[in-house]
Amino acid sequence: MRRLLLLSFTALSLPALAQGVNPGTPPVTEPSAAIAETVVTATRVPTPIERVPGAVTVIDRQTIEERGYQTLAEALVTVPGFALIQSGGLGQPASAFIRGTASRHALVLLDGVPINDASEPNGAFNFGNDLLGMDVERIEVLRGPASSLYGSGAIGGVVNIVTRRAPRDRAIAPFGEVAGGSNRTLRANGGITGTVGEFDYLLSLRSLSTRGTDATPSRFTSDTGERDGFRSAGATVRLGWTPSARFRLEGLANWRENHGGLDNVPNDDPNYSFEDRRYTGQIRAEGKPFEAWTTGFRIAQTVDRRKYRNLADGFDPSTTDDLYRGERTVFDWGNQIRLPDAGFLDQSQVSFGVTHEREDVRQASGSTFFRTTTDADASSTAGHMGYQVRLFRRLDLSAGIRNDAAEDYGTHTSWRLGALLAVPEISARIRTAYGTAFKAPSLYQRYGRITGFFEGNPNLRPEISEGWEAGIEFDLPLGAQRDFATLGATYFDNRIRDLINYDAFFTSLENIDRARIKGAEFTATLRPARWLTASLAYTITDARDARTDERLARRPEQQLALNASFRPVENVTIAPELIVFGRSREGAFASYRNDGSAYTVARDNKAGTIFNLTATWQVTEPVAVFVEGRNLTDSDFEPANGFVIPGRTVLVGTRFRF
């Protein structure tokens, strides 16, 4: 494994060194033509992506539509270092393992506000529940430890879903989309946005219904072909008031409700269903007391309500009625101060603030005789500070520190240092970062109980990580084209300790596990012609239990994503996508033979390949017609043993934007 990482990294880095000095290279103050994004997630301060000393991926609205992504899970599976494992089709549970960390180590934000369900036993986010309606403008993904910015949960990385902003020059700007196809799937979303004087607004609705597919593999002798249907509806409302260039007040409300069927392993279960509702709202005020100082205050709340029901039948004689209710309330005060330039120092900014967060969980799950309950709440308050500066107009440095003080697990301090060096002589950017992160024990882990059998452990400590990364990205010119190709390579190394797991008797939980993770991410974007762009993302991950040296479950050792955007004629775009999953480990009693019996020792999940294709015809400037094909080779790949991906599907639709 070490040899493979070294050879791959060396091979990709050599072309940058071979370029030598390029007299035609622009000055360092001019960004590369291949990189023009500005991101907020990586630093809390709007920063050009080429100056961020960390691994960041941005999936914008154009990419979402061009590649036919209709769910958050579909979009994220192509991100380097992002292994997303879904147990079936639309609406089925999906877990993310960012750079080999656990699924509970991915923090998800909606416009900067955490939306991980507080009632989820481990605090993990279900990536299978969210649609990418036209109210979603972009998705920013920061990989690596980020607790110095966002606190608990950001060990593997952060996903920030950014909603659409109103155009400043339009009073009314409607948009919409409708599509239908395989499995009686119907998808519709649309809305209206605009700016009238000092006020701006956004109203968006979205829905999807499908009879679904069978998540049980046909190789199981117990497979009945029963489909897992799915229905989803949601809405987003934003109202903003900007009376002057120095003040803005806005409110955002988001609602999402899903209904669907689930399967048990290894049997179909027609009576197993779920309801999942989430309400998120925030009010934010931002002002500039002075030209160099921006300050803002935000109040936000997220409420999750989930129900899972499974009535007694011929497949399972027991009855399950699971209820989960979680609330998270956030008060956040943040500041940015732009410092004056001084000689070789410029672009200096200081950020600081205070965040107070409260979680409340009411949960009851399991059968009547084996009922798990949690009834608890907890608060924490954190102070954070960051600094970033550019030296000699080519070296960006950043530092951040945060201290979280909780009422029930003590205090924890996390930090991060980063550096990025622009080397225009070879059109390269070299970056490195080192930092710590933590995941607080969930309320279930601390206070959950099964009467007479299990008691949570209120003395649990946070899970703690320490990691570093180093990478290089460079542009290869060809003739007059400066950005013919952009290549990148990043090596990462992470150590996690105090991982929470069951004690030897399964009667409580303890901080007993450790993990060590290393790997590499390789990216390439080719632009051989104006009508053709191709990209590659390849990840190697070696994630192991530090005590036993066993590979951690459900982390593919290798993962490859190939995408292209091909325009054979004017106004027509064809976007093929190939995703290859390498083998991954599955835990004991989680791998199943064809007869449904479980293996008692850990085994490997087989590798798998998925091919998707989307074609879009821009009929007129505001109206487009598209075709989305998923899994066109009809692969029966099982990302998680016992759960197969949906077979071949095709959707046809139209969208407009005025």
**Among 612, 611, 622, 613, CA closest to 654:** 622
Residue 297's CB is within 10 A of a number of other CB atoms, namely 15
More confidently predicted of 452 and 389: 389
pLDDT at 320: 82
Question: Is 329 within 8 Å of 303 (Cβ atoms)?
Answer: no
Helix residue spans in 255-367 (DSSP H): none
The pLDDT of 130-153, averaged and rounded, is 95
pLDDT at position 413 over 60: yes
Separation between Cα atoms, residue 364 and residue 320, nearest integer Å = 10
Separation between Cα atoms, residue 31 and residue 50, nearest integer Å = 7
Number of residues that make up the chain: 658
pLDDT at position 440 over 90: yes
- Tokens in use for 39? 């991101």
Separation between Cα atoms, residue 286 and residue 353, nearest integer Å = 13
Reported as a pLDDT band with limits 50, 70 and 90, residue 596 is confident
pLDDT at 25: 30
pLDDT at 482: 83
Question: Is 235 within 8 Å of 211 (Cβ atoms)?
Answer: no
pLDDT at position 11 over 80: no
The pLDDT of 371-400, averaged and rounded, is 95
Number of structural domains, the chain? 1
Reported as a pLDDT band with limits 50, 70 and 90, residue 2 is very low
pLDDT at 589: 83
Separation between Cα atoms, residue 64 and residue 572, nearest integer Å = 16
Question: Is 113 within 8 Å of 282 (Cβ atoms)?
Answer: yes
Question: Is 398 within 8 Å of 417 (Cβ atoms)?
Answer: yes
More confidently predicted of 599 and 515: 515
Q: Which pTM does this prediction carry?
A: 0.92
Helix, strand, coil percentages, rounded to 5, for the chain: 5, 60, 35
Category of 405 on φ-ψ map: left (φ > 0), alpha (ψ -120 to 50) or beta: beta
**Among 217, 314, 205, 296, CA closest to 644:** 217
pLDDT at 419: 97
| pLDDT, the chain, mean | 91
Least trusted range by pLDDT, from 137-146, 481-490, 587-596, 642-651: 587-596
Question: Is 361 within 8 Å of 121 (Cβ atoms)?
Answer: no
At 320, which CATH number?
2.40.170.20
Please give the single-letter amino acid code of residue 96. Answer: A
pLDDT at position 604 over 70: yes
pLDDT at 472: 96
pLDDT digits (tens, 9 = 90+) for 270-313: 888 999 999 999 999 999 999 999 999 999 999 999 999 988 77
The pLDDT of 313-331, averaged and rounded, is 87
Across 298-308, b (16+ Cβ under 10 Å) vs e yields bebebbbbbbb
Reported as a pLDDT band with limits 50, 70 and 90, residue 4 is very low
DSSP string, 600-630: SS-EEEPPEEEEEEEEEEE-SSSEEEEEEEE
Category of 157 on φ-ψ map: left (φ > 0), alpha (ψ -120 to 50) or beta: left
**H-run or E-run covering 73:** helix 72-76
pLDDT digits (tens, 9 = 90+) for 179-218: 999 999 999 999 999 999 999 999 999 999 999 999 999 9
- Cβ-in-10-Å burial (0-12, 13-18, 19+) of 466 comes to middle
The pLDDT of 356-377, averaged and rounded, is 92
pLDDT at 407: 87
Category of 504 on φ-ψ map: left (φ > 0), alpha (ψ -120 to 50) or beta: alpha
The pLDDT of 84-93, averaged and rounded, is 93
Residue 115's CB is within 10 A of a number of other CB atoms, namely 22
Separation between Cα atoms, residue 387 and residue 396, nearest integer Å = 11
Separation between Cα atoms, residue 193 and residue 201, nearest integer Å = 5
400 strand-pairing partners = 386, 416
Reported as a pLDDT band with limits 50, 70 and 90, residue 352 is very high
**H-run or E-run covering 4:** helix 2-18
pLDDT at position 512 over 80: yes
Longest dimension (CA), the chain: 78
DSSP string, 199-249: EEEEEEEEEEEEEEE--S-TTSTT-----EEEEEEEEEEEEEEEEETTEEE
In percent, how much of the chain has pLDDT > 70? 93
Separation between Cα atoms, residue 482 and residue 475, nearest integer Å = 7
The pLDDT of 622-648, averaged and rounded, is 96
pLDDT at position 498 over 70: yes
pLDDT at position 619 over 80: yes
Separation between Cα atoms, residue 274 and residue 370, nearest integer Å = 20
pLDDT at position 13 over 50: no
pLDDT at position 355 over 80: yes
Cα 383 from chain centre = 25
The pLDDT of 318-347, averaged and rounded, is 93
In percent, how much of the chain has pLDDT > 90? 81
Residue 491's CB is within 10 A of a number of other CB atoms, namely 19
End-to-end CA distance of the chain: 52
Reduced to 3 states (helix: H, G, I; strand: E, B; else coil), residue 284 is strand
The pLDDT of 63-76, averaged and rounded, is 96
The pLDDT of 514-519, averaged and rounded, is 98
Separation between Cα atoms, residue 361 and residue 257, nearest integer Å = 19
Reduced to 3 states (helix: H, G, I; strand: E, B; else coil), residue 446 is helix
The pLDDT of 447-474, averaged and rounded, is 95
pLDDT at 42: 66
Reduced to 3 states (helix: H, G, I; strand: E, B; else coil), residue 341 is coil
**Among 2, 101, 85, 79, CA closest to 539:** 79
Separation between Cα atoms, residue 654 and residue 191, nearest integer Å = 15
pLDDT at position 406 over 60: yes
**H-run or E-run covering 150:** helix 147-150
Residue 619's CB is within 10 A of a number of other CB atoms, namely 12
Residue 134's CB is within 10 A of a number of other CB atoms, namely 23
Separation between Cα atoms, residue 98 and residue 518, nearest integer Å = 12
pLDDT at 451: 86
Owning domain of residue 470: 2-657
Please give the single-letter amino acid code of residue 532. Answer: L
pLDDT digits (tens, 9 = 90+) for 528-579: 999 999 999 999 999 999 999 999 999 999 999 999 999 999 999 999 999 9
